[in-house]
Amino acid sequence: MTAPISHLQNLFVHQKASFSFERVPPVAERQAQLRRLADAIREYEQALVDAVDQDFGCRSALETRSAEIAVSVAAANHTIKHLKRWAAPKRYANLGNNIPGKTYTRAEAKGVVGIISPWNYPIQLSLVPLITALSAGNHVMLKPSELTSATNHVLSQLIGSVFKETQVAVVTGDAQVGEAFSALPFDHLFYTGSTRVGRLVAMAAASNLTPVTLELGGKSPCLMMADADLAQDSRLVAFGKLYNAGQTCVAPDYLLVPKGQAATYGDAILRHAESFYADPAEPEPYTTIISEAHHSRLTELLLDAGKQGAEVRSVEVAGANHPRYLAPTVVINPAPDSAIMHEEIFGPVLPILEYESLDEAVAMITNRDHPLALYIFGQNVAAAERVLEHTTSGGAVINGTIVHVAVEHLPFGGVGRSGYGAYHGERGFREFSHERSVLVFPRWKALAGILTPPYGKVLNFITRRSIDKKT
C-alpha cells in the first residue's frame, strides 16, 4: 500500500528517536543481524523470484537468482567476514608532524539513512545498500520503486521478519511520496536511478545539507579494438546488452567498431541473441520491458533512428507474443543527433558506430558525459590499459561486460553525470560511516607553556622550521 505522507514523516520521527550513538549495535550484533537477513533472503527466495516475474511480466528466474538474490547474499557474507576489520580504529603515525600525540580515526554510524531504489533490479539495489548501511550501525528507511509493487510486498515481509520498523522501515508510494522522502532531513541519502531524478533528489537533500550518494547511469560505451575476437567478444557484448533485456544501468549503451565492421558485428550479436533464446520451452525466458511507457519510449527511439537514416535490424526470439516484448535490435550507424545517441537506452537495443582510428574512438567517448561503465575488447591488454589512461568512467571491464558489479570488494559508483559516491565492500562501509578524526594530545607540563601566550623562542623555532622545510 502507498504510505501517506504523514505516515512517512511519523516513521522518520520514530527512527530518529530510536537511534542513539550510545545504542549503536556493536560489531558482533551487526554481524548477527546480517546473518539473520541473509537467512531471510534464502527463506523468501522463491517468493522473490515469483514477485519479480510478476512485476516484469516475464523475467528469467535464473537472472533474478544470479543478479539479485545471489549478489545480495554474497554482499551480506562479505560484509560479515570483514566488518570487524573495517570497523576497527585506524591509527596513524605522526612522522614528520610538529604536533605531538597519538592520532586515529573512528568509523561511526551517521544516524538515519534513506535509500531510494529503482525497479530494474528491485532486490539487489534495495538489499545491498541496506546491508551496507546496517553494517555501519545506521537505521534505514527504504523507498523502492512503485513499478515493482509485488516485489515491494515481499521485501516488506522479508525485512519485517528480521527488523523492527524503528530500525528498518519500507515505505512505498508514487513520485509524490518519493519527493517527500527525499525532502526528509536524513543523515545520509542514497539514490539509484536516472540522472534526471537524481538531480531532483540532490536538490531536495541540499536544503537539509544531507550528504548524498547518487548511483545514476548514462551511455556506457563498448569499444572493440582492431584485434578483438569477433565470435567470442560479440557474444559477451550480446550477454551484457540482453541481460534483463538491457534494463541494466551498466549495460553497453553503444558499440564502437573499426571502420567497415558495423554490419558484421551487428549480425554476430543478433545471431547470439537467437541462440540465447531459441527455444520457447526454455525455462529461462527472454525478459520483457517493465512497463508500457518504457516500451513506447524504446519504440519511439527506434522509429526516430530509422527516420534519420540508420539501419535497424532485429531478430525474433521466444516470448514475442507478450505485449511488452521488444526484440533484440541493433542500429547500424545512427545519426549523431538522433535521440538514441543522446538518451540512455535501457532496453535490448544496441547502436553500432564505426571509427577510423583508436584516437577517434577515444574522442567519441571523451566528448560525451562520463559514463557509469566502459568496456574494452582486444587481445592486447596493454593497449586497452592505454585507452583507460585517456578516458574516465565509474568502472571498467577489459574483455567483458557488466560482471564487475558482482565483484563485492570493488567500489561501485559513477563519475560526473553518472553519479558520485560509491559503495560495495569496504568502500560502501566508509560511505555510510562518519570517519571521526581523534588526536590524543600528550600531557606534558611544558607543552602548555610552549603553545600559549606570551609566545617564546621554542614556538618560533618550531614555526620557522615548518615554513622553511623542503621535501
Q: Burial of 460 by CB count in 10 Å (0-12 exposed, 13-18 middle, 19+ buried)?
A: exposed
- What whole-number distance in Å separates Cα of residue 300 and Cα of residue 29? 52
Reported residue count of the chain is 471
- CA–CA gap between residue 155 and residue 136 (Å, rounded): 21
Residue among 437, 463, 469 nearest 450 (CA): 463
Four-residue CA torsion sign, 400, 405, 406, 409: positive
**Residues 368, 373, 377, 383, Cα dihedral to 10°:** 70
Query: Are the C-beta atoms of residues 423 and 129 closer than 8 Å to each other?
Result: yes
At 103 the three-state DSSP class reads strand
- Are the C-beta atoms of 306 and 313 separated by less than 8 Å? no
CB crowding 351-373: b at 16 or more within 10 Å, else e = bbbbbeebeebbebbeebebbbb
Q: For residues 189 and 200, is the Cβ–Cβ distance under 8 A?
A: no
Q: Kindly list the strands in the beta sheet with 168-170, ordered across the sheet, starting from the edge strand earlier in the chain.
A: 168-170, 139-143, 112-116, 188-192, 212-215, 419-420
Residue for grid cell 513499478: 147
| Distance between CA atoms of residues 334 and 307, nearest Å | 10
Q: Active-site positions? A: 215, 249
Q: What cell numbers appear for 72 in the block?
A: 545480495
